[in-house]
Chain A
Amino acid sequence: MKKQWIENIIAGSYAVALHIILVVLLFMGFDSASETVVMPAAVDIVQATVIDEQQVLDDISDRKDRIEEQKTAETARLEAIKQKEAEAKAEKEKAALEREKEKLRIEQEKQRKLDQERENKIAEQKKRDEEVKRKVEAEKARLAEEKRQVEEKKAAELKKQKEQEAQKQKAEEAKKLKAEKDRKAAEEKKRQAAEKQRLADEEKRKKAEADRLLQESLATEEREREERRISGVVNQHMGMIRQRIKRYWSEPGNATKGMQCTLRVSLLPGGDVRQVTVVKSSGNAIFDRTAESAVYKAAPWPQPSDPKAAAALRDFTFVFNPK
Chain B
Amino acid sequence: MIRSLLIGLSLFAMLMPWQARAELVIEITGGSEAALPIAVVPFGYEGFAASEDISAIVRNDLERSGRFAPLPQQDLISTPHEKSEINFKDWRLLRSEGLLVGKVSSVDGQTYQVQFQLFDVYKAQQLVGKRYQVPASGLRRVAHQIADQVYQALTGEQGVFSTRLAFVSVLKNADGSRRYALQISDSDGANPRTVLQSKQPILSPNWSPEGERLSYVSFENGKAEIFIQEMRSGKRTALATFKGLNSAPSWSPDGRKLAMTLSKGGNPEIYVMDIATKALTRVTHSSQSIDTEAVWMPNGHELVFTSDRGGRPQIYKVPATGGRAERLTFEGRYNASPDISADGRYLTMMHALKGKFYIAVQDLETGAVNVLTERGKDESPSFAPNGRLILYATEQNGKGILAAVSVDGNFHQRLGETGIDVREPAWSPIRK
Q: List residues of A whose CB falls within 8 A of some B CB.
A: 223, 226-227, 230, 234, 238, 241-242, 245-255, 264, 284, 286-287, 289-290, 292-294, 296-297, 299, 308, 311-313, 315-323
Let me know if B28 and A250 touch, CB within 8 A. no
Residues in A with CB closer than 8 Å to B67 are 253
* Alpha-carbon gap, A143 to B15, bound state (A): 122
Let me know if A286 and B122 touch, CB within 8 A. no
Let me know if A251 and B14 touch, CB within 8 A. no
Among B17, B26, B34, B97, contact of A238 (Cβ-Cβ < 8 Å): B26
Q: Count of A-B contacts with CB under 8 A?
A: 116
The answer, yes or no, to whether B156 is at the interface (CB within 8 Å) is: yes
The answer, yes or no, to whether B24 is at the interface (CB within 8 Å) is: yes
- Tell me the smallest distance from the CB of B253 to a CB of chain A, in Å: 21
* Alpha-carbon gap, A319 to B24, bound state (A): 11
- Tell me the smallest distance from the CB of A94 to a CB of chain B, in Å: 166
Among B30, B36, B120, B155, contact of A246 (Cβ-Cβ < 8 Å): B30
CB contact under 8 A between A308 and B26, given known A247-B32, A253-B156, A294-B31? no
Contacts A/B (CB < 8 Å), 19 sampled: A227-B14, A238-B24, A250-B31, A250-B34, A250-B154, A251-B30, A252-B155, A253-B388, A255-B156, A286-B156, A287-B156, A289-B120, A289-B123, A294-B31, A297-B95, A315-B23, A315-B24, A319-B25, A322-B29
Let me know if A242 and B28 touch, CB within 8 A. yes
Residues in A with CB closer than 8 Å to B6 are none
Among B11, B17, B95, contact of A248 (Cβ-Cβ < 8 Å): B95
Let me know if A312 and B15 touch, CB within 8 A. yes
Residues in B with CB closer than 8 Å to A287 are 156
- Please name the residue on chain A nearest to B25 by beta carbon: A317
Apart from the given pairs A253-B156, A297-B95, A312-B19, 16 other A-B contacts in the complex at a CB distance below 8 Å:
A230-B14, A234-B18, A246-B30, A248-B32, A253-B157, A289-B120, A292-B122, A308-B14, A312-B24, A315-B23, A317-B25, A317-B26, A321-B27, A321-B29, A323-B30, A323-B31
* Alpha-carbon gap, A311 to B123, bound state (A): 25
Let me know if B30 and A321 touch, CB within 8 A. yes
Q: List residues of B whose CB falls within 8 A of some A CB.
A: 11, 14-15, 17-19, 22-32, 34, 36, 67, 92, 95, 97, 120, 122-123, 127, 153-157, 388
* Alpha-carbon gap, A301 to B27, bound state (A): 16
* Alpha-carbon gap, A293 to B14, bound state (A): 34
CB contact under 8 A between A245 and B26, given known A227-B17, A292-B122, A308-B11? yes
* Alpha-carbon gap, A246 to B27, bound state (A): 10
- Tell me the smallest distance from the CB of B94 to a CB of chain A, in Å: 9
Let me know if A254 and B32 touch, CB within 8 A. no
| Max count, chain B CB within 10 A of own CB: residue among A238, A247, A312 | A312
Among B28, B36, B92, B153, contact of A321 (Cβ-Cβ < 8 Å): B28
- Please name the residue on chain B nearest to A318 by beta carbon: B26
Among B22, B25, B36, contact of A250 (Cβ-Cβ < 8 Å): B36
CB contact under 8 A between A226 and B31, given known A255-B156, A290-B97? no
Among B19, B32, B123, B156, contact of A249 (Cβ-Cβ < 8 Å): B32
* Alpha-carbon gap, A234 to B26, bound state (A): 12
* Alpha-carbon gap, A153 to B17, bound state (A): 106
Residues in A with CB closer than 8 Å to B15 are 230, 308, 311-312
* Alpha-carbon gap, A247 to B28, bound state (A): 10
Let me know if B22 and A315 touch, CB within 8 A. yes
Residues in B with CB closer than 8 Å to A248 are 32, 95
* Alpha-carbon gap, A112 to B51, bound state (A): 221
- Tell me the smallest distance from the CB of B117 to a CB of chain A, in Å: 16
Among A254, A292, A296, A321, contact of B156 (Cβ-Cβ < 8 Å): A254
Residues in B with CB closer than 8 Å to A319 are 25-28
Residues in B with CB closer than 8 Å to A250 are 31-32, 34, 36, 97, 154
Among A226, A315, A317, A322, contact of B30 (Cβ-Cβ < 8 Å): A322
* Alpha-carbon gap, A305 to B154, bound state (A): 36
Let me know if A249 and B31 touch, CB within 8 A. yes
Let me know if B27 and A251 touch, CB within 8 A. no
* Alpha-carbon gap, A248 to B95, bound state (A): 9
Let me know if A293 and B122 touch, CB within 8 A. yes
Among B26, B32, B120, contact of A251 (Cβ-Cβ < 8 Å): B32
- Please name the residue on chain A nearest to B122 by beta carbon: A296
- Tell me the smallest distance from the CB of B343 to a CB of chain A, in Å: 11
Residues in B with CB closer than 8 Å to A313 are 24
- Please name the residue on chain B nearest to A249 by beta carbon: B31
Closest 7 CB pairs of A and B: A251-B31, A323-B30, A249-B31, A254-B156, A296-B122, A252-B156, A286-B156
- Please name the residue on chain A nearest to B94 by beta carbon: A297
* Alpha-carbon gap, A223 to B11, bound state (A): 9
* Alpha-carbon gap, A323 to B97, bound state (A): 19
- Please name the residue on chain A nearest to B97 by beta carbon: A250
Let me know if A253 and B155 touch, CB within 8 A. yes
- Tell me the smallest distance from the CB of B387 to a CB of chain A, in Å: 10
Let me know if A234 and B24 touch, CB within 8 A. yes
- Please name the residue on chain B nearest to A299 by beta carbon: B92
* Alpha-carbon gap, A284 to B155, bound state (A): 11
| Max count, chain B CB within 10 A of own CB: residue among A251, A299, A311, A316 | A251
- Please name the residue on chain B nearest to A296 by beta carbon: B122
CB contact under 8 A between A312 and B31, given known A255-B156, A286-B155? no
Residues in B with CB closer than 8 Å to A308 are 11, 14-15
- Please name the residue on chain A nearest to B152 by beta carbon: A286
